[in-house]
Chain A
Amino acid sequence: MRGWSWMLSGLLIWAAHFSALYAIASLDAQTSADDHTLWTSAALVATLLCLAGCGLVLARTGFGAAPALPDRLAALGSLGAAVAICWQALGALFG
């Protein structure tokens, strides 16, 4: 289980970010229009937290010579996730 969570860590962070954005967007729709700024800032915070998570994973793996598959997947996965997180955050922040 630990091995798998590590290998998939980048993708799991992406999933957490997506769920957060979905929840925030739903809450934004449910509450009054005045609160919109509140929810966009929440989205911003969630995004920064998740980016930090990706950074942590990357820092732990590094890009040393010929890492094993799980490390490699963790590193590449969080790199990809970071890009996807920024991309999706744009939609939430400037929507």
Chain B
Amino acid sequence: MTSETGFDTGLYDRFPTRGPRPAGELEKLEDAWCGPKGWQWISAINNNFIGVYYLGAAMLFFVLAGALALLMRTQLALPMNGVLPQETYNQLFTMHGTMMMFLFAVPAVEALGVLLLPQMLGARDLPFPRLSAYAFWAYLIGGLAFFGSLFFGLAPDGGWFMYPPLTGATYSPGINADFWLLGIGFIEISAIAGAIEIIVGVLRTRAPGMTIDKLPIFAWAMLIFAGMIVIASPSVILATLLLELERAFGWPFFDPLKGGDPLLWQHLFWFFGHPEVYIIFLPAAGAMSTIIPAIARTELVGYRLVVLAMLATGFISFGVWAHHMFTVGMPRMSVNVFSAASMAVSVPAGVQVFAWIATLAAGRMRFNTPGLFAVGGLVIFVVGGLSGVMVAMVPFDWQAHDTYFIVAHLHYVLIGGMVFPLFAAIYYWTPLVSARPLSERMGRWIFWLMFAGMHLTFLPMHLTGLMGMPRRVYTYLPDRGWELPNLLSTAGAYLFGIAVLLWGIDMARNFRPFRRKNAGNIYDGPGLEWLPNDLYSVRSIPVVTSLYPLWDQKGLSRDVATGRYFLPDNPTGGRETLVTSPMNAEPQFLLRMPKPSGWHVWAAVFTAAFFLLLTVQAYAAAALFGMLAVYTMFHWCWLLDRPMTQPRVDIGAGILAPSYAAGPASHGWWAMAITLVVAGMVVLLAGFSYVFLWSSRPELWKPPPDDALIAILGLYAVAALLAWLAVRLLTHDGPRSPVVSTLSMVLSVAALNAAGGLDVAGWLGAGLDPQASSQYAAVTALLAWQGLFLATAALMGLYIGLRLAFRYVLARQPATFEVVALFLAFSAGQGAFVAVLPRLFPGI
């Protein structure tokens, strides 16, 4: 294989090294990675801690949302039952669905990634430990506040997909809907932060030698998962922003009286919402593809096909969103295309199912608890897949739409595709983080209760649905034949509840995390995560030569544990890990990682407070906390890219590597690039919305200002050029480089803001009034989005200036400049898009 980075892979032959390790090496490592004491558990950033907190919080929300489900089932047990009033029932199904999807399913799999990936990849930690800690705290605080709204009667009640006009200001006047809109927007920010972490982690912190075809299948799944979050969640962020703007300020995006269109919401929501289903399913499937081979003690059949299937799922799932809209009266050609794609998307899922069955057949299955949950999940998922193909057929969907048939279908898919695999994962990986494994005996009970309870609850619902019972009704009349199936469903729900309760007891009795010793590899798994590990993850970072290293590389555990591989120490004295190249995982540089500090926690608290205060319309207080949030983030960034003393270090066996990187080689640049992909998706979808709104009411459109388009574009071009120039000037390394390059960067910021100002002035001159029409609302939204970037750019200018004052601007350390330049160049491009689209389209 040719080298990707110029690294000589022959150097791998130096490992495992021979001879004794120097004394004190291990102690230094333990010192750098020591666990939190006392209150420090709050500011902990090690993935061993954050991963467990994260998963714990997700399970908490699972239990809470499950309790809401039991309340609903109690109400529906008998016809004309009086346990819950109608309004409460509406809040319950909305909260149950929303919490299960946004606060349980996605965070739970993300947490699994944060917890497992570093160990699986042979890294000491994920590349941005504070970012995942921030994501966790933001999610926990935001989620609890969201749940708390139930106790004040303020919970949203428009269903988990919140369709306007029902959720518009006219029909939902209270702040209940705002809780949903701001809460979910906020939770998505946390999901994106986690996704960035996972993408960069999987691509850049793999153990040397772990080429892309030796990437563990779970890591593949998490990579695709994170990529899908980056593409999909901008859509829901945009949708919630637009609806909130309409509710708060009367900008008519969805109100047809002024040219808005409620269908826009459905498009935006489902462009996110359908991929969301696969976002949930893929990591769980990745866990299945990891657990089944381990339990059956054989390699996964068709690794490459499974990888392709997961990639194909990732793609096709973005082409099916409108199957949720078959009943709204779309043009026939679209309906056909979406129906075809919806059937096609079940093929990759089928490929995975067959790979699992073939693996089970090829190996010798052990029916222990993880095995049972894996196989049980498979069975349930297949049933859900079958009813899914049924509703992908348009005429059938016309009948089943909005009935209990759909409720049955979605629970089969979600519970079989995500909940059962998650439980399999919990039982399989607990020995990795806990001093004791969970109880095998109780595990079997839990499985059978859950399995029986699940079928008893949801199998009859297919029937109730076909008999015509609509979903989201708080009660029903007797003698329609709906009594028996409903009673059975309720009984099943309680069985499920008992199973979850038993699981809680099992956890309380046996789950002992954060100890020095864990239970170890009791299932004989083949992945790197089963190497002996401690808070610093592995003692040394192995050279990987197999997809199943612990099965195929004899003596690996011993050599790793005695420090005979890469990075057996911490040459710069702090926390570090190796960064490797994305395809072939060749060592590139040593990443120095941050020590715990409280800034990210404060940032999370303040952002959560900001959103919460916005929701209750305390705007002044919200502004204050918003500023505090910005300040804490600013401080957090301030700790980055400090002058360093050891440019090259020994990363093991005498191999030297830089301890610094800038530009596309560095991890920070990647994080910025991914963030900008998110931003780019938002603005693209905003462009789509603009065109969509035009297409529904073209006659309302007014001509754009015929003004300084050329000047605006020119200024943006100058801004991009100056940003690029700033980096060149800095790396040129002349005596005045820091000053001149900083100046160039600041001028770039000024040019950006001048261009934006000119753009806004033009529209104001043409009488822009965002409340007047959907056209003006859309234009204002585009301008406001760009304004956000210009403000951020201004902050960055300030940041760079301060760095100059502190003498942190150094020619040998251009990483910050590269990142800022990338941001400014993007903002210029985005600004050009925002200026051009509404002026040239529809070309009046």
Contacts and interface: CB of A to CB of B under 8 A. Distances in A.
Interface of A: 3, 8, 11, 14-15, 18, 21-22, 24-26, 28-30, 39, 43, 68-70, 72-73, 76-77, 80, 84, 87-88, 90-92, 94-95
A18 B333 contact: no
Nearest to A18: B319
Nearest to B334: A25
Given A14-B315, A28-B333, A84-B344, A91 B339 contact: yes
A87 B333 contact: no
B213 A29 contact: no
Contacts of B335: 95
Contacts of B792: none
Interface stretch (B303-311, B460-468, B611-619): B303-311
Given A26-B334, A91-B340, A70 B311 contact: no
B743 interface: no
A72 B333 contact: no
B336 A77 contact: no
B343 to A, nearest CB: 8
B304 A73 contact: yes
B312 A80 contact: yes
Across the A-B interface, the 10 shortest Cβ-Cβ residue pairs? A91-B336, A29-B331, A69-B213, A25-B333, A95-B336, A25-B334, A91-B340, A18-B319, A88-B340, A11-B315
Nearest to B332: A95
A15 B308 contact: no
Contacts of B305: 76
Contacts of A29: 330-331, 333-334
A95 B337 CA distance: 9
B319 A15 contact: yes
Residue from B311, B332, B333, B344 having most chain A Cβ neighbours under 10 A: B333
28 contacts: A3-B582, A3-B583, A15-B315, A18-B337, A26-B334, A26-B695, A29-B330, A68-B1, A69-B213, A72-B304, A73-B304, A73-B307, A73-B311, A76-B305, A77-B312, A80-B308, A84-B316, A84-B341, A87-B343, A88-B337, A88-B341, A90-B340, A91-B339, A92-B333, A92-B336, A92-B337, A94-B336, A95-B336
B437 to A, nearest CB: 34
Interface in B271-329: 304-305, 307-308, 311-312, 315-316, 318-319
A30 B212 contact: no
Contacts of B308: 73, 76-77, 80
Contacts of B1: 68
A18 to B, nearest CB: 4
The number of chain B residues touching the other chain, given as a range, is 20 to 34
Nearest to A88: B340
Given A73-B311, A77-B312, 18 more contacts: A3-B582, A3-B583, A15-B318, A15-B319, A18-B337, A18-B341, A21-B333, A22-B319, A22-B337, A25-B337, A29-B333, A29-B334, A69-B304, A70-B583, A76-B304, A88-B341, A92-B333, A95-B333
B336 A8 contact: no
Nearest to B311: A11
B312 A22 contact: no
Contacts of B212: 69-70
Contacts of B330: 29
Nearest to B214: A69
A69 B212 CA distance: 8
A15 B212 CA distance: 23
Contacts of B319: 15, 18, 22
Nearest to B315: A11
B799 to A, nearest CB: 28
A47 to B, nearest CB: 11
Contact of B344 (A43, A76, A88): A88
A24 B311 contact: no
A22 B836 CA distance: 23
Contacts of A26: 331, 334, 695
Interface string B1-31: 1000000000000000000000000000000
Interface in B582-637: 582-583
A36 B340 CA distance: 20
B213 A68 contact: yes
Given A3-B583, A15-B319, A18-B319, A25 B312 contact: no
A72 B213 CA distance: 11
Residue from B304, B308, B318 having most chain A Cβ neighbours under 10 A: B308
Interface in B227-276: none
A27 to B, nearest CB: 9
Nearest to B309: A80
B321 to A, nearest CB: 10
Contacts of B344: 84, 87-88
Contacts of A15: 315, 318-319
B673 to A, nearest CB: 10
Interface string B688-710: 00000001000000000000000
Contacts of A39: 333
A67 to B, nearest CB: 10
A90 B344 CA distance: 13
